[in-house]
Structures are given as structure tokens and as C-alpha cells.
Structure 1
Amino acid sequence: MASQLIPAPDNLSPKISPFWHRIFPANIDIALKTILGVWAAYIVANMLRATLWSPQSHNHSLEYYIITAVISITVTWFLYRLLVWGGKHLTLAVLILTVPTIFLALTTVYVTNSILAYPASILDYISASHNIAHDEALSFFFDAAFANYLILLGWGGLYLAMANNRNSQIALVHSRNLERLTRGSEMRALRYQISPHFLFNALNSVSCLIIDKQNGSAERLIDLIADYMRSVLYFNGDDIITVEQEMAQQIRYLEIEQVRFPSRLKFEVHIDDDVRDWKIPSLILQPLIENAVKHGVARTSVPVCITISAIKDHNRLKLTVTNSGRVSPIISMAKGTGTGLANIRERLETLYGPSAALLTGNGLEDVVIATILIPDEGQIFKDYSL
């Protein structure tokens, strides 16, 4: 199961040319949509107000609103650049939205009225266009500036919220993919702990057969080992395979062990049809099969049957390995069976967390039972869906 790392840079924004990138160095789509959207809404809202109100009580024209919007878009762009520069720090962002924004709002109203009033003075224009006394014109000027300040302040808050949300999404995706890559690496490392151990035992068996001058059996064993290792190490590079594929690998392994113990080792495999395509970690059964051979077959002179089964039990996959005999936890740990079981538990924990389990113990009919419980395959990395 290959894990691809999603790059940390902002790959959620559209690709733009270097020219536009210099003008909008960050979050160009958010900046453009919010700037144009806010001031388009300003024009629409005021034109609706002009239409609904009588001309006597509302003297601003479409020209006034268009000039105001154009100037305000430019001023908002300056505010955007300030926020890009200092918006990573909350205190500095609040300071920018407080002090510089006041002067930007005053600048917007001053430039707009200067254009419309030319060549008259601003206060004379305001007094004449709004039918108010000359001494009230200055108060009207600051009221208009305060209204623009609130719009700029609202835009700044909206932009910061959307930009920070995007940054959080990028960081979350990057973090989750790093964790996924780490988990995948841990799983492969745990999986590859198994192969050298098996290969050592298998080559030791070949050596014993050669010493006993059983060359035919040794040659057959080498062929089986090569086939098994090819399947294990080059099975599409997958760490997650189906139950049916895992069982096929274990059958190859048991066929190898049957060459060592032709009269003592028998095995049976049972798979429910509805779990054949269930996805599980590759070689998850290998340590259990090895333990069954090492402590069930190799240490006795009577025939031993190893049974492997895979069934569905209450929406969970139940993998069971049984063999004749009894096991003592203290003795078994002393004889070295703890590493393989720990390997299984670590792999299950890495992939499924607490949703999976490994249970071992003695059965009622003089058998040793090892059971792996795996949740529905949809649980695999389900916390990475965004």
C-alpha cells in the first residue's frame, strides 16, 4: 500500500502567472473573491436603498458609488498586502485592522469626495449635495469614513478567517499524510522483521537435508523457498492484501515445513466466501504459523494438524490458527515466542489502533488457539478522510 505525501505548499489555490503572484502573493482566489464581492455588495445595497428611498432623502448617485467602490478596491488591496505581511501574528493583525485601517477609510472618503467636488472644496460639495449646513459637513465626512472603516474591518476579518482556514486545511492534510507515511514505514519495518527469521530457519532445514543426503528433498525445499520468497517480497510491493492472498502465502510456507516434517505436519485451511476479499496486513499470520510449527510440530513425535480459518464474526474478520498441544505463557515467553506475537500486536495497533486484537491461549480440547480480530476494512486510515 503506497503512501503519497501531499506537498506542504498551498496547492489549494489556483496556479497563477508570476505577474499576478507579485500582486497577490498569497490566497489570490480568496483575496479577489472577497474584495470584489464586498464592494459589489456595497454598490448593490446602496443602489437598492437609492431606488427605495425618495430622491429628496437620498442624493448619492450611481457615479458616487462606483467611484467609491473603485477607490475602496484599491485601498482594500493595500490592506490585503498589510495582512499578508503581518497576518501570521494575531496581535499584529489586530493592530493592522485597528490603526492603519482607520486612515485607509479616511483616505477612501477623502479621495472620493475630492474627485466629485473638484474644483470646489470637499465640505462645500458635501453641504450642497446632501442639503445640510456647512458646519455639519465635517461630521458627515467622518460618519462616511466610519462606515467605510466598518466595511474594511469586516473584510479584513473575513479574509483572515478564510485564509487561516485554508492554512489549517493544508497543515492538516500535510500532517495526516506524514503520519500515514510514518505508519506505512512502521508497518513495512515490522513486516520485514519476519522474512530474515523465516529464511534463516528454512536455510537451516536445507542444510540438515543435505547433511542427511536427502538431496531430492533439499532441491524441492529450495524451489519452494524461492517461490515463497518471491511471493512475499515481490507481491506488488503491497503491505495490504486480501485474505485469500494471505492464505496462499501461508499454504506455501506450510508446504515448505512439510518437507521438514513429512510424517508429522498436516494442515487445513478454511475460508468463508464473504471474507476472501477482506483486506488485511500481509504476513499477519506468519508468526502464528511459525509458532505452531516450532512449538507444536517440532517438539513432538506425533502427528500435528494446524488449522487456519477465516470467518466473519459480528462485522469483524476473525482469523484463527489452532494446533494440537498446550502452551504455558511463562514457558513460551522463555522459549522466544514473544517477539512474533509482539510484531503482530504492533502492526495491528499501527494500522487499526484499539479496533483490532490478538488473543492467544489454550482451547478445551487440548489445542492451542491464536485469534486475530480485525475490524471492517473501511477502518483502515479512516481518520484521514477530509
Structure 2
Amino acid sequence: MKPDFALVPIEARRPSLFDRLFPVKRDLAIKSIFGVWGVYFFFAVSRILYGTPSNADALIVQRILMTSICITLTWFLYRLLVAVRGSGMRAAIFMLILPTMIFAIYIAVLDQIVVNDEVALFDFTYLLDPSDFASFDWPYIWDDAFTRYFILASWGALYLALSHSQDVQRMMVHSRQLERVNRESELRALRYQLNPHFVFNALNSVSSLIIDRENRQAEKLVDDLADYMRAVLTGGAQDMIAVEQEIAQQVRYLEIERMRFPDRLRYSVDIDPAANGWNIPALIIQPLIENAVKYGVSGTDQPVNIIISAQTEGDRLRISVANDGRVKRPVNRTDDRTTGTGTGLANIEDRLKAFYGENASLLLANNMDGMATATIILPDPSLIFQDIG
């Protein structure tokens, strides 16, 4: 059974004339070739006009002819360099020696033929006459050939250098793009690495409230949990967030946890008004709040106070989370299950390094009031890593 439709091949775009003539780095090749010989033509014509010969027009036409020949042979040299690209520097150097030398001698001989005939304007019939090579001024030809060789070889070296520079710049741009993508992926992975165990605890609390027929509280807990998760997930595209938004989000989290520990969890917030204008990495203090609840409130039957504070100190921002109890810094990151300060703190340190390099820090301490304190010190937002270019 034949299909009721036919596959029509998409016609490939035919390359233009310039694409065929200059298949590699067209703009660079055209600009450099015409630039070099354009300068040569300018000086040649300037010398003719300065001498004011009687047949200046014919000489200028001859210079146009020779310049066109030079441009054509330079294009051939360009195609030779294109043909050996990827074959190593030795092949390119060979092209700049032997073929270039032949081109230079050929140009010098043609130039001698053209210059020796002082003809009328646009009269090129002499080019068809046989040449008497014995009558040529060969010392002048060799001197002119050396000059032409120097120009051709200089152009070839300039083209290779600029071509290599473009390749390096392109690789640097590509590398920066990869670095930016990798850093964004790393930050996103670190942010999503945050332990969501409180979701399971909150769902267990909802189940308990339903069993106890506390439907209003269960409904409120579900709404609060949904709002918090929506803020976390929809805010995933934001790398930075305002201080007040970050702390408001963590307060919402504490309200959810207080449904589980209504008699044991107490918290307070102290934000310096000057700190509200700062932007900080999203969810950067979430592991600190989570540890304070998990290992402060859950680990005792006594009421536990959690204090969140944010103050500016000169050109730095200090954000602290303190809770009743003592803290012991783990020896390595695998100690999270025993001390509660491994993976969460490692997550913060990795994200701070990704954002600020060595300009930010995380400090753990036991203060004089018997509270375990975790402090994040952030520099001025201008010190956040920026992409170059």
C-alpha cells in the first residue's frame, strides 16, 4: 500500500560565490588580503603622482593590473593555507616558503614586463608579445621578488596569527559558556540537595491531626506546606534573593515545624533594616534552620529557642542562626548522621565558594549564652563571580 504522502527532500542552501571563494574565515581573509594590497596600491600611486610623469594615467592602470594579480596570487596562497589547516605548523610554514617564493618571483617578472612597456591608457596588447628574458633587469627582479615575498609571507603570517587568535577567542567564549552552565548546574544541584525530610515529618503531622480530627489545623498545615514548597520550587530559577524574602521563607518553614512542636519550638527574628537591601543566595540559610530544628528541638523535651539575625558590618553582611544547645564541628562530611552538621554545612560552603570564591565564610561557635551559633559572612554583592565577555 502506497502512502498518501510523499517525502520531499529539503533543498540544501547553495553556497554563495564568496562562500566558495573563501570557505574559511571569509571576513578575515577578505579584509586582510585587500587591506595589505590596498596599502601597497596607495603607496605605489602616491609615488606615481609625486613624480608627475606624462603617462601617469597609464601607470596607474598598470598598478591596478599588478595589484589585481597580487590579490589573485594571495588568494591562491590563502587556499593553500586552508588546504593544509589541521596538518600542523610545519605544513603552513612550508606553504609560506616554497609556494610563496614562486608567487613572489612570478609577480616580479610580470611587474618587469608591465613596467618596461610605457604604453597608452588601457593598451594591454604588449602582454601578448613574446618577452625577451635576456633583456630583463634581473638584479631588480630579484630585489623586487624579495619585497613581494616579504609582503606575501607577512600576510600569511598575519592571517595565521589572526586566525589562531579568533580560534582561541572562540574557545574561550565556549569555555566561559560551559563554565557558566556548569556553575549554574552545580548551584542548582546543591540547592536541590537540601534534605527534604521535613516534608515527610509534616505529612506525618498532617496524618496525626487527621486521626485526631483536628481538621482545621491539618488543613492549615497542608496549605502552609504547599506555600513553602511552591516558593522553593518556583524560586529555583532565582540564584539570588532579597534578605527579607529569604528569612520570610524560613519563618514559613518554622511555622510548619511549630505545628509539630507547639510547646518546644520558639523562634525570633532580628533583621537590621540596612540588611534588607542585600541579595543573598536563595535557601542559603535553610540547612542552618533545618539543623536547628532537627538537632535542637527534636533532640530534647525542653523548649528550644531559635534566633535568626541579619546585620551589616561595614561592607559585609552577617547572618546568624542560633539555637539552644552545643555544636561540635565534624571531622569530615560523612559525620552528618551523628552530629547533624555535615551535609547541610558542606552544601552551604560549596554554594558560597561557587558564588563568592574565598570572599565568604561559614563559622560555627558556642556563644556565652549556651547557644550553638552558625554564622554566614557575605561580602559586598559586587564580589559575586561574574562572567567575562
Match of 1:370 in 2: 374
Q: 2:40 aligns with which of 36, 42, 67?
A: 42
* Cα distance in 2 for residues equivalent to 1:247 and 1:161: 54
1:347 maps to which of 344, 347, 351: 351
What is the identity, as a one-letter code, of the residue corresponding to 1:348? L
CA distance 1:201–1:353, shift in 2 (3 Å): farther
The answer to whether residue 99 in structure 2 is matched with residue 95 in structure 1 is: no
Residue 356 (1) aligns with residue 360 (2): yes
How far apart are the structure 2 equivalents of 1:197 and 1:43?
Answer: 78
Whole-angstrom CA distance in 2 between matches of 1:385 and 1:275? 28
Superposed CA offset, 1:328-368 (max 9, x none): 33598524331111111122223332222211121122111
Q: Which has the higher contact order (CA 8 A, sep 6+)?
A: 1
CA distance in 2: counterparts of 1:121 and 1:272, whole angstroms: 95
**Cα offset, 1:153, TM superposition:** 1.0
1: CA distance between counterparts of 2:236 and 2:296?
32
In structure 1, stretches of 5+ residues that fail to align are 1-15, 125-133
What residue number does 2:310 align with?
Answer: 310
Q: CA deviation at 1:257?
A: 1.2
1:11-50 equivalences under 5 Å are 18-50=16-48
Counterpart residue number, 1:222: 222
Q: Tell me the TM-score normalised to structure 2 length.
A: 0.83
Once residues 110 and 310 of structure 1 are traced to their aligned partners in structure 2, the CA distance between those partners, rounded to angstroms, is 83
**Counterparts of 1:165 and 1:103, CA distance in 2:** 28
The whole-number CA distance in structure 1 between the counterparts of 2:248 and 2:17 is 59
Tell me if structure 1 keeps the 8 A contact 2:241–2:279: yes
Distance across 2 between alignment mates of 1:86 and 1:375: 52
Deviations 1:148-186 (A, max 9, x none): 111111111111121111111111111111111111111
Q: Does 1:289 align with 2:289?
A: yes
Relative to structure 1, the CA distance from residue 141 to residue 315 in structure 2 (aligned partners, 3 Å threshold; closer, same or farther) is: same
**1:95 Cα shift?**
1.6
Q: Secondary structure at the match of 1:194?
A: coil
Offset at residue 211 of structure 1 (A): 4.8
Alignment of 1:111-130 (within 5 A): 111-114=110-113, 117=117, 118=126, 119=128, 122=131
Deviates more, 1:44-53 or 1:336-345: 44-53
The answer (yes or no) to whether the contact 2:366–2:373 under 8 Å persists in 1 is yes
- Aligned pairs for 1:225-236 (under 5 A) are 225-235=225-235
What is the DSSP-based 3-state SS (H/G/I as helix, E as strand, rest coil) of the residue aligned with 2:299? coil
Q: After superposition, give the CA deviation of every residue in 1:210-237 in whole Å (9 maximum; x if it has no partner).
A: 4555443222211110110011101263
For 1:369 and 1:375, the matched residues in 2 are separated by 19
Equivalent-residue separation in structure 2 for 1:74 and 1:272 (angstroms): 73
Residue 70 of structure 2 is aligned with which of 69, 72, 76? 72
Q: Secondary structure at the match of 2:308?
A: strand
Q: Is the 8 A contact 1:242 1:280 kept in 2?
A: yes
Correspondence 1:163-242 to 2 at 5 A: 163-194=163-194, 196-235=196-235, 237-242=237-242
Distance 1:53 1:304 in 2: 100
- What amino acid sits opposite 2:37 in the alignment? W
**Distance (Å, rounded) in 2 between the aligned partners of 1:375 and 1:212:** 49
> Paired residue for 2:9?
none
In the TM superposition, residue 123 of structure 1 has moved relative to its aligned partner by: 5.6
For structure 2, the 5+ residue unaligned runs are 1-13, 118-125
Shift of 1:40: 1.1
SS of equivalent residue, structure 2 residue 259: helix
Partner of 2:10: none
Match of 2:329 in 1: 329
Distance in 2 (alpha carbons) for counterparts of 1:275 and 1:82: 64
Q: Does the aligned pair in 2 maintain the 1:67–1:112 contact within 8 Å?
A: no
Structure 2 contact 112–136 (Cα < 8 Å) conserved: no
**Contact persistence 2:329–2:364 (CA under 8 A):** no
Query: Does residue 385 of structure 1 match 2:385?
Result: no
| Kept in 1: contact 2:311–2:318 (CA 8 A) | yes
Is the 1:123–1:138 Cα contact (8 Å) retained in structure 2?
Answer: no
Q: Which residue pairs with 1:107 in the alignment?
A: 106
Q: For 1:167-208, what per-residue CA distance to the aligned partner results, in whole angstroms no more than 9, with x for missing partners?
A: 111111111111111111111111112263332232233334
Q: Distance in 1 between matches of 2:316 and 2:20?
A: 55
| Structure 1 residue 144 displacement after superposition | 1.1
* 1:82 maps to 2:80: yes
C-alpha spacing 1:202/1:108, structure 2 compared with 1 (3 Å): farther
| 1:25 counterpart letter in structure 2 | P
Count of residue correspondences = 360
Residue identity matched to 2:280: I
Distance 2:380 2:107 in 1: 61
Judge conservation of contact 1:320–1:369 (CA < 8 Å) in 2.
Answer: yes
Identity fraction in percent: 46
| Residue 17 of structure 1, CA deviation | 6.1
Structure-to-structure mapping, 1:146-165, within 5 angstroms = 146-165=146-165
Deviation, structure 1 residue 107: 2.4
